[in-house]
Amino acid sequence: MKSLKLASVGGVFLFAASVASLAQETQEPLDEVTKQAIEDALNYCENVSEDAEAIRMKWQMRAMFDAEEQMNAKIAQLDEKVAELREWVERREQILQRAEGHVVDIYSKMRAEAAAEQLSTLDDITAVSVLMQMKARQAGAILAEMPAERAAYLTDTMALLTQKYSKGADS
């Protein structure tokens, strides 16, 4: 109904404008009927302008509410991501704390073959913790001496922990 009013307002306005421009082109004085039509059109526009304004305001409010809902959904997604990254950081810290410094020193001073054999028997979390606290060259030599499948798994775990940690630090 209100959109019909808006359409009719536009039609009346265009009619009044075309009549006025036609009168100007012909340079003839407007007759009484034409003047009345223009006046009626202007009165109509004035009468429906409040309704048109109310409709426009409702539309703008709805658009703002929709935008707010979208922003709230995005904020919820980002909060979930932050929580996930914090969980990974905590997990990484727990892994690093699990192997104390003196244990890492012991494995660092062992020959690569012997350290690989010993680390292969440890649980995954402890092995990853020890390897992550070693110098890269030492960890690489030990991984080279391990069975390929075990070395690949430990390397993937370290890479995943490092990747998740660096993403969390960037946020």
Evaluate whether 150 touches 122 at the Cβ level (below 8 Å): no
**What pLDDT was estimated at residue 18?**
62
Q: Residue 8: is its pLDDT beyond 80?
A: no
Q: Residue 26: is its pLDDT beyond 60?
A: no
**What pLDDT was estimated at residue 143?**
94
Between vectors from CA 68 to CA 63 and to CA 71, what angle results, nearest 5°?
Answer: 125
Question: Over the stretch 41-98, which tens digit does the pLDDT of each residue have?
Answer: 888 877 788 888 889 999 999 999 999 999 999 999 999 999 999 998 888 787 767 6
Look at the alpha carbons of 53, 58, 59, 61 in this order and tell me if their dihedral is positive or negative: positive
What is residue 27's DSSP assignment?
Answer: T
The Cα-based distances of 156 to 9, 132, 163 in angstroms read 69, 12, 10
Between vectors from CA 140 to CA 134 and to CA 145, what angle results, nearest 5°?
Answer: 115
Q: What is the pTM of this model?
A: 0.43
Look at the alpha carbons of 9, 13, 16, 18 in this order and tell me if their dihedral is positive or negative: negative
Evaluate whether 96 touches 126 at the Cβ level (below 8 Å): no
Which tokens sit at 87?
Answer: 């969980």
- Which band of pLDDT confidence, cut at 50, 70 and 90, is reported for residue 21? low
| Residue 139 exposed, middle or buried by CB count within 10 Å (0-12, 13-18, 19+) | buried
Please name the residues in contact with 20: beta carbons below 8 A apart, sequence gap of 6 or more: 38
